[in-house]
Structure 1
Amino acid sequence: FLAGRHRAAVEVYKEVMRIGKDDWITHHNRALCYAFLKDSEKASTAFQTSLKLCPTIESYVAFGDMLLLRDEAELAVGVFEEGLELDKTNLDILIRLGRLYLTYRKDVEKARDVFEMVLEREPRNNEALKSISAIHILNHSHVAALVKYRALASTTTLTRTNLATLYNDLGMSFYSQSKFNLALPLLLKSLALQPLNAQIHHNLGLVHLHTSQFASAIKYFETAAKLNPKRGETYLWLGVAYFNAGMGERAERVLETGVRVDGYVQVAHISDLLKLNKYNRLMVFFCSFAVAIPGRVQSYA
């Protein structure tokens, strides 16, 4: 089995069972072999036999994971819930259930309860902290989310890159809720950790643009474009910033650059554009530019 000869291992386990050693570990290992061989039906039968002989967390976790690989999430939930009855404090089971409640069943409250149980056992569990923070943001509990993210940020296991991603994700979560005053300091922390990250510069440009700080928005978008000159969306928003700053000619030039980079400029952020003060003039500008370059600019209402 450990050598990867799963078919041969199955035959060995059959022989072991034939001579009378019919215990849970034999069926468990046989189930793992069938799972590796992608014989899910026989694997399921072997896991079920193993659990009847001796319920173990090891078998519940392996069985549930196999079901997830088969895209049978509902059955996996049932298996993990049975496993939780065996040990209500097992982190492997709790984390798997939390993920499924949150992403598959969309049961935010139940997912939160499960991840809180994880944190009772392991207060600095990265996945639980991040998941609960996301749940708080969904529930518009931004202060609670910030507390959890700070706890996550204080863990010693995070690399600079992971920590920068963490601050960026939280900042953009607040940005999506139009909580720009909360988004800005988090994005600046992210930038301090990764000063050459084009995405973070781009995101800071968005925050400054939506707070009418056009000079700062231009600075961040220009830097983002230098760091990643092949991203057309950055040129679009840089053009928006130039236009709002009264620099129409520069806006047109940068939009032309975006067209050359992407082949077209897609104005797909109408909901964001609506938040800007000069929306009507801005759309007239884009429409006139679309006429100037037929077939190159696509607008979506």
Structure 2
Amino acid sequence: MSDSLPNNQQIHELFVRRAHKDCLDLIDAECARIGGDFEYGLYVRALILRQEGKVQESLSFFQKVVEMNPLSADNSKQVGKSLLLLGRYSEAINIFDTAVELSPDPDWEVLHNKGMCLVKLDRTDEAIAAFLEATEAEPKQPTLCALGDLYAKLGKFDDAINIYDSALKLSPENTEMQTILGLLHIKKDETEKAFEILGGALTINPRAPKTILAAGKIIQDSGDADVALTKYRIAAAQVEFAELWNNIGMCFYAKQKHQAAISCLMKARQMSPFDWHIAYNLGLLFLEVKQNMSAFLSISASISLHRQFAPTFSSLGIALSRLGDIDNAIEAYKRSISMENNHITHLNFAISLLNHGRFDESKQELRAFAAAFNTMSDEAKRDAKEIRDLSEQVVKTLKEKERESEAQISRTGARGKEQENDRRRQTQNDEEEENEQQQQQDDDEEEEEAEGADQDQNEGEQDKQDDIEQHNNNNQDQDENEDNNNNQDGNDNQDNNNQEQGDEENEEDNIDQEGNEEADQDEGEDQ
């Protein structure tokens, strides 16, 4: 090997042995030795980066490889794979088309990856064509399974079964494909065939959880919830997944063990919060136990995840009706009927309208129920005996409600007339009473005016009498004052006379005293 050429053989051997560090070190050494990048070194470096999850970096190196050798179909294929992993599907499809043009022979991997991009873009017909072309180039299990899944999604179960039969020929002991094939037969109501295939899968792996789950589903649908639970317990001992707990919950639901069913379905929803089937089943269970708000929330969550399943809207109508929101319940029922003209939906719609007193609309829905029911086969009608009995009960209840309503209207009308007469009599009495009160008020006012005039006259006479009395009193007071003055003068004169008399008596007393004193003195001298 020339010293100017890189050691691609040793690089390849290290890459195959997954000695990635040594491989990258060798690539760096070779780049340094030859003085720059080389195609295979960049190619292997990009592969290692993608395996390590560094997809964006790998894309950059693959694009450099394409620049070095734009005619290589494999280089373009690797760019397309990185774009697919990055979710850049439209760009990837263009690159895969380039790879197809560059490849001398059809490359099943390029066509398969192109088909996967088309599936992601919901271009189903184009995806089927790409998968069929890939299968013609080289039948491979991944392509056959992808094609079978597309047919099953479209409801083409016969085509899906044929594709999975072909896939099983490539891998006869693949229990996962056997389980899918068994489930497809269940979709076609071919229960015995499905159980046979699932039994063969369990022979290969008696503890395959998904196979046990599928077999248990058949048993559960047949009405034997206890045996189904036994199968599910075996699967749960191996591995836990949301679908398993959903089925266990529905088994408890069938056994009327509602609390256990709710617990299982809640666990399933925690494990797979974006599975609309689980949210829907939980909503049905909440409706069963009359937890209407919880039912509304679960069913609404299911609709937000998947809006193309008519029964979810019908169940939403039931929940809204029970919550008193009949207008939005009507919209939900109409949405369900627009998607699927189901007789049970019409019956539930009629019951909701009946419960809210909308009898005419309820009659219309009962007629729609009868029309949809009559389109069923005789065998289906016999199987739906409970539904037919319920509809008859609804019709009977509706008639009773209408009679009660008419009687109520009649009673209300009679009471209305009586109340109207009472109002008229009351109005007449009020008017008479008002007139009497007005007359009494007028009489009172006249009497008050008369009393006021008399009072004014009396007050005038009284004022005159008071003036006379006041005048007389003044004269009397004057006379009394004069008499008092005269009496006072008399008294004063009397007092003066008395005073003078007293003075005279005092003088006499003084004289006598002096005489006595003189007598006393004489007596003393005599002594």
Look up the match of 1:97.
Answer: 114
Contact kept, 8 Å, 1:129 with 1:149, in 2: the verdict is yes
Deviation at 1:84, TM superposition (A): 0.4
Look up the match of 1:218.
Answer: 226
Structure 2, unaligned runs of 5 or more: 1-10, 270-275, 300-527
Deviation at 1:85, TM superposition (A): 0.7
Structure 2: how far apart are the matches of 1:62 and 1:201? 39
Q: 2:42 pairs with 16, 26, 30, which one?
A: 30
Look up the match of 1:134.
Answer: 149
- Residues 80 and 14 (structure 1), Cα distance of their counterparts in 2 relative to 1, 3 Å cut: farther
Which structure has the bigger radius of gyration? 2
Q: 2:64 pairs with 39, 46, 63, which one?
A: 46
Q: How does 1:163-182 map to 2 (within 5 A)?
A: 164-172=175-183, 179=187, 181-182=189-190
Which amino acid in the other structure matches residue 146 of structure 2?
Answer: S
Structure 1: how far apart are the matches of 2:59 and 2:236? 49
Q: 1:73 pairs with 89, 106, 110, which one?
A: 89
Which amino acid in the other structure matches residue 48 of structure 1?
Answer: V
Deviation at 1:241, TM superposition (A): 2.9
Q: Residues 76-96 of structure 1: CA distance to partner in whole angstroms, max 9, x if unpaired?
A: 322221000112511221222
- Residues 134 and 40 (structure 1), Cα distance of their counterparts in 2 relative to 1, 3 Å cut: closer
Q: 2:163 pairs with 139, 143, 148, which one?
A: 148
Contact kept, 8 Å, 1:196 with 1:227, in 2: the verdict is yes
Q: Residues 192-223 of structure 1: CA distance to partner in whole angstroms, max 9, x if unpaired?
A: 3223334434333434544xx213x4312222
Structure 1, unaligned runs of 5 or more: 244-250
Contact kept, 8 Å, 1:130 with 1:152, in 2: the verdict is yes
Structure 1: how far apart are the matches of 2:155 and 2:132? 18
- Residues 101 and 28 (structure 1), Cα distance of their counterparts in 2 relative to 1, 3 Å cut: farther
Q: How many residues align?
A: 259
Q: How does 1:3-22 map to 2 (within 5 A)?
A: 4=20, 5-6=23-24, 9-10=27-28, 12-13=30-31, 15-16=33-34
Deviation at 1:238, TM superposition (A): 1.9
Which amino acid in the other structure matches residue 240 of structure 1?
Answer: Y
**Structure with the higher fraction of residues in helix conformation:** 2
- Structure 2 SS opposite 1:214: coil
- Residues 191 and 61 (structure 1), Cα distance of their counterparts in 2 relative to 1, 3 Å cut: same
- Residues 298 and 121 (structure 1), Cα distance of their counterparts in 2 relative to 1, 3 Å cut: same
Look up the match of 2:134.
Answer: 118
Look up the match of 2:298.
Answer: 300
Q: 2:199 pairs with 176, 191, 195, which one?
A: 191
Contact kept, 8 Å, 2:74 with 2:99, in 1: the verdict is no
- Structure 2 SS opposite 1:181: coil
Contact kept, 8 Å, 2:66 with 2:72, in 1: the verdict is no
Look up the match of 1:246.
Answer: none
| Range that drifts further, 223-232 or 113-122 | 223-232
Contact kept, 8 Å, 1:202 with 1:221, in 2: the verdict is no
Q: TM-score, normalised by structure 2?
A: 0.42
Structure 2: how far apart are the matches of 1:299 and 1:202? 28
- Structure 1 SS opposite 2:106: coil
- Structure 1 SS opposite 2:122: coil
Deviation at 1:140, TM superposition (A): 1.8
Look up the match of 2:393.
Answer: none
Q: Residues 151-204 of structure 1: CA distance to partner in whole angstroms, max 9, x if unpaired?
A: 11222x34x3x2x211322444565xxx35136623541233223334434333
| Range that drifts further, 182-191 or 72-81 | 182-191
Structure 2: how far apart are the matches of 1:203 and 1:299? 29
Q: TM-score, normalised by structure 1?
A: 0.68
- Residues 10 and 166 (structure 1), Cα distance of their counterparts in 2 relative to 1, 3 Å cut: same
Choose between structure 1 and 2 for higher RCO, CA contacts under 8 A separated by at least 6 residues. 1
Q: 2:254 pairs with 238, 241, 247, which one?
A: 241
Q: Residues 232-270 of structure 1: CA distance to partner in whole angstroms, max 9, x if unpaired?
A: 434422223324xxxxxxx36xx54974x7886879647
Structure 1: how far apart are the matches of 2:81 and 2:106? 19
Q: Residues 106-154 of structure 1: CA distance to partner in whole angstroms, max 9, x if unpaired?
A: 22111111111122233x4212221221122222221111111111122
